[in-house]
Structure 1
Amino acid sequence: MDDIKYFDKALFSDLKQKAAESPRRRANFNVHKSYTDLVQRLFIAMMPDSYVRPHRHVQAHKWEFFMVVEGELNILFFNDEGVVTERVTLAANGETSGIEIPPNTWHATVCHSPVVFMEVKQGPYEMSVDKGFANWSPEEGSDLVPRFLASLKQAKVGSEVNCLSSHIS
């Protein structure tokens, strides 16, 4: 039974430690063997100060599935102008613990405490065409990120989070 893979609390604890030590404040454990695999499966640990830039998967077949296994996170959905159209809480033991996001859907994730979730998506993974980033959001590493991330964490449906506008509401 050498091919059976186990995913336990020790793995998740280690993953959270790696995320805490990472400059990006998140870490992943790939279950798939290669980026060329037709199904990409990975566990991701994310710290509250990790910035996931709003993006969409522009390829017509690139859906994305999330399932929270420890903790809680919020997924925000946006229109083309950076207005929050929906905010969903996923919690390991909550009312909703998983979601599938269709292609071409603007989204971002935020958390208020460490979280571990599983992501499944269509492969192969090609970094150059995987994501289209929202031009109304700051690039990772920008001085605008802390303020923008704080606005995402508080954003309600109908709020504009466009960092290019004179205010972030």
Structure 2
Amino acid sequence: MILDDELLNAVAAEAKRSERLRMNRDLRNSADDTSQRMLNALEVGTVLPIHRHRSTSETQILLRGRIDVMFYDDLGRETDRFRLDPRSGAYGVDIPAGQWHSLTVLEPAVIFEAKDGPYRPLAPDDVLE
């Protein structure tokens, strides 16, 4: 599979139609694949809760658009903010395992995400509300 404008446009179109204003495209070879690789198309207005992945770091590479990625402490206070915009040379962020994080979409975006290990839904205590 080639990651080109045609694929990014298709995933972005699905995000626009989605009630959540975002859509993932799984890039794993099978459900047994021991890594997580995906495209995540995000529209302005999508809401990602503050969350963490206890056992894996997460790498996000912005392919198009503009987003802010925020880090938080255990009380939900913002500790860092990174503006990603490939046009200005800010392409991605590596999020350490256990780091609370979220993002805000500033213009429609597509990111490539990678995490270690198989997919596991977030546990309730890994989401700050």
TM range (shorter): over 0.9
- Is contact 2:65–2:109 with CA below 8 Å preserved after alignment? yes
SS of the aligned residue for 1:113 comes to strand
Q: 2:6 and 2:44 mapped to 1: Cα distance? A: 21
Question: Is residue 56 of structure 1 aligned with residue 91 of structure 2?
Answer: no
Across the two proteins, how many residue pairs are aligned to each other? 129
The residue that corresponds to 1:40 in the other structure is 36
Tell which has more relative contact order, 1 or 2 (C-alpha 8 A, sep 6+). 2
Shift of 1:83: 1.1
Cα distance 1:117–1:81, how it changes in 2: closer, same or farther (>3 A)?
same
Q: 1:22 maps to which residue?
A: 18
Normalised to the residue count of structure 1, the TM-score between the two structures is 0.72
TM normalised by structure 2 equals 0.92
Say whether residues 1:126 and 2:120 are aligned partners. Answer: yes
**1:74 counterpart SS class:** strand
> What's the offset of the Cα at 1:126?
1.7
Q: Aligned match of 1:98 in 92, 95, 98? A: 92
**Superposition RMSD in Å:** 1.6
Could you tell me which runs of 5 or more consecutive residues in structure 2 were left unpaired when the two chains were aligned. none
One-letter amino acid matched to 2:45? D
Cα deviation 1:57-115 (Å, max 9, x = unaligned): 122xx110000001111101111111110000111222321111111101001112110
Identity %: 27
Unaligned runs of 5+ residues in structure 1 are: 138-169
Distance 1:84 1:48 in 2: 20
The answer as to whether partners of 1:72 and 1:111 remain within 8 angstroms in 2 is: yes
When Rg is computed on C-alpha atoms for both structures, the one with the higher figure is 1
SS in 2 for 1:114: strand
Task: Point out the structure with the larger strand share.
Answer: 2
Q: CA deviation at 1:36?
A: 3.2
Q: How does 1:1-169 map to 2 (within 5 A)?
A: 5-59=1-55, 62-127=56-121, 129=123, 132-134=126-128, 137=129
